[in-house]
Structure 1
């Protein structure tokens, strides 16, 4: 692909994603719609998804960012439902959707139908995370959806490889297929376990934040490539490493954390935007060469496969949710808040995405009915994103699922801050008692003042608000602090323009102000 089409794709995708933030429509849906519309515009080049690019170059960083932001402890607490969805459901959907396609499409061999089932089986990590994050779902449901989306790609890719081997006649029988599946799964986890500690140790040993962030950008690609090298699951390797690094991220210095957060936010924003735009742009490529499957027959097959995908998820989710509760008193006690409403949302939140399309495009050209597999994958992805994605917000409002309790969260944060501040105050008293740490009284008092303000800031968010502005006292304090910083910044720039200070000094002074303003902003919105 030439440079300008790629630049145009990134720029237009980012613009549409930015515009989506000002609308009630989730960004993935608007991007897909924009891609579909652009595919009809004369002169727009054909952007064909290359699985050799999407899987090893786009999937690892997207999985890495999602896994780093996930909670290892929450995922461990919800390991049973996550495993039942990410492994059990994907295998069930592969068989159910594949067999439905085999019955519906005349002349479609069962192994080829199972290839289609494996391709459309996994809900998309990017779609699930993007939409769940915006909807404000209950914490446990969000954790389950995110956990499922982190692992299910590995299950689907492995199931696809097994089904493809059967379709082209290179399978070693059921024993060989099961062995291949176990090798990929266990091997991917094993590679991740082998890499995570040395990579984290290297991050701690490096002193330059720029080098650390360069390493951070390479980590998902290294983990993916190392696992694929030994025919294991690169997806699982990436997820295992990222979960460990995210759990241990507090051990890295603050400069690295600040830079990493900014870098990965940009990377995730650009890649997510491009990925969903690419889905819509696949229409001309998918329709080309559809051949005998055109018109009403193709539309019927597309509708039937989408229905099979949606129904199979309900068929799996409700028994997988409530049977363990009936069979185990321990599970009932641990998951007492489980309701049919939550299960319904989990069942409906099964949007498919770019991974399914990338796998479909990787189907060899000599596989029978390849064009039909591409077409049905494309229509299933579009249908799930549009139908389920658009109806999910009103469904959640209709079911009246309890949103996260903001007051309870603020109270927990305030209590945690109070305990931490008490420990810091005790440590400060110990340090000031040592002669080598002697400070003039004003400076010592400033340390105590900063500590006290940090202790009180969260509590003040629970208190009364300003009747004129609706702000808490802490909010007014931060707003005034930003106004003061802005006034200082204007003076520094004026002094530079008058040549009383040079640009190097200006950059140092502005960076100091930027850090102060960033700290105020992060505490206010965190």
Structure 2
């Protein structure tokens, strides 16, 4: 037990060191962590680490999906729903089909169900890797939105393909009509479960006497509840977490106060960072497990198969992107509603198909034995191919993606205002709302407000000079009452500005990211007022 705890702590410490080193070398940390884990796996004498797939699916996947859904802009997601759906469903099924037939033709002993199993495993890209590579690089918001939206639902589609293919391998039969019907049931009921559980947590946050700590803890309970309940009934736990996370994010501005948002944002940022970091270093550590047990295949054969399939996966995505981006633009309605992505944006989206945690977890979840007790056919080869595909796409594409972006010289081709204009527009609306409210509800002469503000500044100066806050508060009762009233006016103005932010969010004129930034500023202002002496 103690050895396991020390191992986890050691991995966490090494992960943090590698992240700091990646920042110094300006390399995306998922790439650096995978390479670091790969190097550690080759060190003789270190303990072998075997990852339980249930650990990834249960411990890592729900909170990471929930966090991604929480910070997804619903307006942007809906705006780019067509390319997102084409990538998340169309490309996943297309990739799985091509990989299935190619692997059956290329690899001796590989059947079509095994090919679909492998295709379902390696078809979904990992958005954490892509967004971390794109971090700090100026790319159109449209690209990051599509990548994030794709990652939210392509995990569900790929896992459904994987589930059906696994059933076909075990049973030896596969019926397309039954698979389609089951797919629709599993997907739709996963959405229903996620929305139902989110509604329950919305009621708890909204109507029960919670605290910031309780609210933060509930946000961690919610994704596990959604995932486990959906999987208990054999529905899509991934879609349950995604739909529930989107609903809770949409209502968060109504149910959470400033202290809750500040606390939960900090906690989730730390937890999400640790979970992502551990997952990527564990991917690299799985090399010995992937190499072992290749059976009749030599290591050289396995590497050749893996590299061929890696190239096919990359080419399939690039080949899919251009028809999916430009063929729908033959319709005038789409041309009117969506600006052209250009060849540059399409190339970047095509090159950002890096695989990650879901692919590894799916490969590890392939059972060791069939129901009759026989060894699962080609399991170790599937695991090895998955590992190489992750390594090639993550390292090769991840390291070259910044160069691709510089080469394309992609620019924002959008009808929305630039970020600085949006920020100025939001602030103007908030100040106008505050002034209108003050003019309607407060008739105090501005000189009185200046007196209160001056009093407040003198109190803080006295507190800093003497180091004794009680001495700074030694004013007569009338001044204390004036200061208390001033604080109440400020809180009232912040409340009005929050209501204006909700109105701006419904209007959809400004990006959610800009609105979240301004909301965070209001939260900080409220926290400052709450800690001022009264």
Please tell me the TM-score bracket, short chain as reference: 0.7 to 0.9
Q: 1:392 maps to what in 2?
A: 401
8 Å contact 1:51–1:359 — kept in the other structure?
A: yes
Deviation for aligned residue 1:404: 9.3
The answer on whether the counterparts of 1:66 and 1:129 sit within 8 Å (CA) in structure 2 is no
- Deviates further, 313-322 or 114-123: 313-322
Give unmatched runs, 5+ long, in structure 1. Answer: 451-480, 497-517
Q: What are the within-5 Å matches in structure 2 for residues 226-241 of structure 1?
A: 226-241=229-244
Q: CA deviation at 1:14?
A: 2.0
CA distances 1:232-267 after superposition (whole Å, capped 9, x unpaired)? 111111111111222222212101100110010001
Taking a change above 3 Å as real, the CA distance of residues 302 and 68 of structure 1, as seen in their structure-2 partners, is: same
Conservation of the 8 A alpha-carbon contact between 1:351 and 1:388: yes
Does structure 2 conserve the Cα–Cα contact (< 8 Å) formed by 1:97 and 1:312?
A: no
Counterpart contact for 2:258–2:523, Cα < 8 Å? no
In 2, Cα distance between equivalents of 1:248 and 1:448: 39
Post-superposition CA distance 1:179-235 (Å, at most 9, x none): 221121111111122222232222122431111111011111111111111111111
The answer for the alignment partner of 1:373 in structure 2 is: 382
Change (3 A) 1:441 1:399: same
Cα RMSD over matched residues?
2.9
After superposition, the Cα gap between the structure-2 partners of 1:187 and 1:45, relative to the gap in structure 1 and judged at 3 Å, is: same
Structure 2, unaligned stretches of length 5 or more?
Answer: 370-375, 470-519, 526-534
Question: 2:199 matched to which residue of 1?
Answer: 197
* 1:76 counterpart = 2:85: no
Shift of 1:309: 0.6
CA distance in 2, matches of 1:449, 1:392: 56
1:519: how far off? 5.7
Correspondence 1:150-169 to 2 at 5 A: 150-169=152-171
Shift of 1:491: 7.2
Shift of residue 47 of structure 1?
A: 1.9
C-alpha change, 1:14 and 1:441, in structure 2 (3 Å) is same
1:222 match: 225
Match of 1:422 in 2: 432
Give 1:38's match in structure 2, choosing from 31, 37, 40.
40
User: Is 1:310–2:304 an aligned residue pair?
Assistant: no
Q: Report how many residues are paired.
A: 464
User: Contact conserved, 1:360 with 1:373, CA < 8 A, in 2?
Assistant: yes
Report the TM-score, using the length of structure 2 for normalisation.
0.81
Write out per-residue CA displacement over residues 470-489 of structure 1, whole angstroms, 9 at most, x where no aligned residue.
xxxxxxxxxxx9xxx99987
Cα distance per residue 1:138-159 (max 9 Å; x no partner): 1011100000011101001110
Contact 2:259/2:523 (<8 A) preserved: no
1:334 is matched with 337
Q: Equivalents in 1 of 2:461, 2:12: separation in Å?
A: 33
Q: Give the Cα–Cα distance (whole angstroms) in 2 for the partners of residues 119 and 273 of structure 1.
A: 21
Question: Of 253, 257, 261, which aligns to 2:261?
Answer: 257
Which sits farther off after the overlay, 129-138 or 299-308? 129-138
1: CA distance, partners of 2:279 / 2:219: 21
Match of 1:22 among 24, 34, 37: 24
Equivalent position of 1:209 in the other structure: 212
